[in-house]
Amino acid sequence: MGRVVLLEGDLCDQEVDAIVNAANSQLVLGSGVAGAICARGGPSIQAECDAHGPVEVGQAAVTGAGELGARFVIHAAGMAPGGTASETSLRDALRASLALADEKGCRTLAVPAIGTGVGGLSLQRCAEISLEEARRHLDAGSPLEEIRFVLFGEPAYRVFEMVQDAARIQAQMDRLRSRS
């Protein structure tokens, strides 16, 4: 079974099978994570997004990774351009991204805190939903060996760490209760 890893760092530096982009539904790589992916990966990524065309909010699309150290970029459409991300759109976009990673035969996946930048979603809710969906996906038998949440800055890392620790403690308490 795969594992969930937390890492503070730059998503664009990850050498993995696929990097998840916090995208908008028009697949326009503007600012934030998407802008960094475009700047570091080169214009071929935006060209592939343009050729693919828009997707619905909550869906995902896959492109090559250009000059990044990954094979693919999976664009998780957490919001419409100029809009905000919701808990539902994050959950749906992450599920669609995980399914695409499986479909493409990925073993390693790097994921940012989707929807927390210009999308306006709280970091805590993003962490709760993202970690829950990652665990659910791995528990269902995904071929992914590692889902790596790459978080920009220590505050974001600490929020994800706190949520992950709380989930571990809850699981341990549930196991102890079931034994009594």
Structural domain count, the chain: 1
User: At 75, which CATH number?
Assistant: 3.40.220.10
The single-letter code of the amino acid at 95 is R
pTM: 0.94
Least confident range from 75-84, 127-136, 170-179: namely 170-179
Grade residue 164 by pLDDT with cuts at 50, 70 and 90: very high
**Quick one: pLDDT at residue 1?**
80
In this prediction, residues 29-38 reach a mean pLDDT of 91
- Tokens describing residue 41: 């990966």
In this prediction, residues 83-102 reach a mean pLDDT of 97
Grade residue 175 by pLDDT with cuts at 50, 70 and 90: confident
- Examine the pLDDT at 62 and tell me if it is beyond 90: yes
Instruction: Write the pLDDT tens digit of every residue in 124-144.
Output: 999 999 999 999 999 999 999
Domain that holds residue 165: 3-179
The answer to whether 117 and 33 have CB atoms below 8 angstroms apart is yes
**Quick one: pLDDT at residue 168?**
86
- Tokens describing residue 65: 């990774």
Residue in this structure with the two tokens 């060996």, named with its chain if needed: 145
88 CB neighbour count, 10 Å cutoff: 12
Grade residue 29 by pLDDT with cuts at 50, 70 and 90: very high
**Quick one: pLDDT at residue 17?**
98
23 CB neighbour count, 10 Å cutoff: 31
